[in-house]
């Protein structure tokens, strides 16, 4: 018999408070992903995996040159896929590098490719046994994906993907992204 918080539940009747298959906790945090003490951080990389601007540049700077040396051995990464490296000098033990789609108006499979980034990153996190994972707002910077649309894809995909990851941090580097996540999560903050 299943137990929820010490209360016995009928195994044949799904309890209303049984969470979905996704991570138990989805939290919005403001700031620099490279500072976070989590098991794994996700990088919004490009197909070469050899570094770039935005969060990718920040992660490479903080991790040190060993990261680029390691990435050179990986043979790049397809859009929607993800590959793992150590975190080297980062507080995070691992970096999960994923490649988001470039926004081309929304009619070129962008949403499915972005969802695949979140799903595949969770799968990689499960492979390495990560329990806490921080995501940047993949594709919403240089790649031009509208933050509100991207936040909906992120939240919907994370909530519906079976995983052993317990805690996901959605890292907002700016106010617009933070608001987009709160709205996608169904949270509302005071009159503004």
φ, ψ dihedrals at 5, nearest 5°: 55, 40
> Does position 54 bind ligand AR6 by CB under 6 A?
yes
113 CB-contact burial (10 Å; exposed 0-12 / middle 13-18 / buried 19+): buried
Minimal distance in Å, beta carbon 48 to ligand AR6? 8
Residue 107: phi, psi to the nearest 5?
-100, 20
Residue 112 as a binder of ligand AR6 (CB under 6 A): the answer is no
**Judged by CB, which is closer to ligand AR6: 46, or 116?**
46
d(CA 74, CA 67): 11
Q: How far apart are CA 153 and CA 179, in angstroms?
A: 15
Counting residues that bind ligand AR6 (by CB under 6 A) gives 25
Q: Is 108 helix (H, G, I), strand (E, B) or coil?
A: coil
Which among 39, 56, 81, 175 is annotated as catalytic? 56
Among the listed residues 56, 67, 77, 118, the single contact to ligand AR6 using CB under 6 A: 56
- Can you tell me which of 22, 23, 80, 141 binds ligand AR6, judged by CB under 6 A? 141
Is there binding between residue 139 and ligand AR6 (CB under 6 A)? yes
User: Does residue number 55 form part of the binding site for ligand AR6 (CB under 6 A)?
Assistant: yes
Considering the complex, what minimum distance in angstroms separates the CB of residue 17 from ligand AR6?
Answer: 32
| 56 has catalytic annotation | yes
Binding to ligand AR6 by residue 169, rule CB under 6 A? no
The reply to whether 88 sits near ligand AR6 by the rule CB under 6 A is no
In the DSSP assignment, the letter for residue 151 is H
- Is 84 a residue that touches ligand AR6 (CB under 6 A)? no
**φ and ψ at residue 172, rounded to 5 degrees:** -105, 120
Residues 154 and 117 sit within 8 Å (Cβ to Cβ): no
Q: Output the six-digit token pair for 92.
A: 């995070």
Binding site for ligand AR6 (CB under 6 A): 32-34, 44-46, 52-56, 58, 100, 136-143, 171, 173-174, 177
């Amino acid at each position: 018999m299943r137990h929820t918080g010490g209360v016995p539940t009928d195994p044949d009747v799904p309890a209303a408070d049984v969470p979905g298959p996704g991570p138990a906790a989805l939290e919005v945090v403001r700031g620099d992903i490279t500072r976070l003490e989590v098991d794994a951080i996700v990088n919004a990389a490009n197909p070469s995996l050899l570094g770039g601007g935005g969060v990718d540049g920040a992660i490479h700077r903080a991790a040190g040159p060993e990261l680029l040396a390691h990435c050179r051995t990986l043979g790049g990464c397809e859009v929607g896929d993800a590959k793992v490296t150590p975190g080297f000098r980062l507080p995070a033990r691992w970096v999960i590098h994923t490649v988001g789609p470039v926004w081309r108006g929304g009619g070129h499979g962008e949403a499915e490719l972005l969802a695949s980034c979140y799903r595949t990153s969770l799968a990689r996190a499960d492979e390495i046994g990560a329990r806490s994972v921080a995501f940047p707002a993949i594709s919403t910077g240089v790649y031009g994906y509208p933050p509100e649309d991207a936040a909906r894809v992120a939240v919907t995909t994370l909530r519906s993907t079976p995983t052993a990851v317990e805690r996901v941090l959605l890292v907002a580097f700016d106010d617009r992204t933070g608001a987009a996540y709160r709205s996608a999560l169904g949270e509302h903050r005071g009159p503004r």
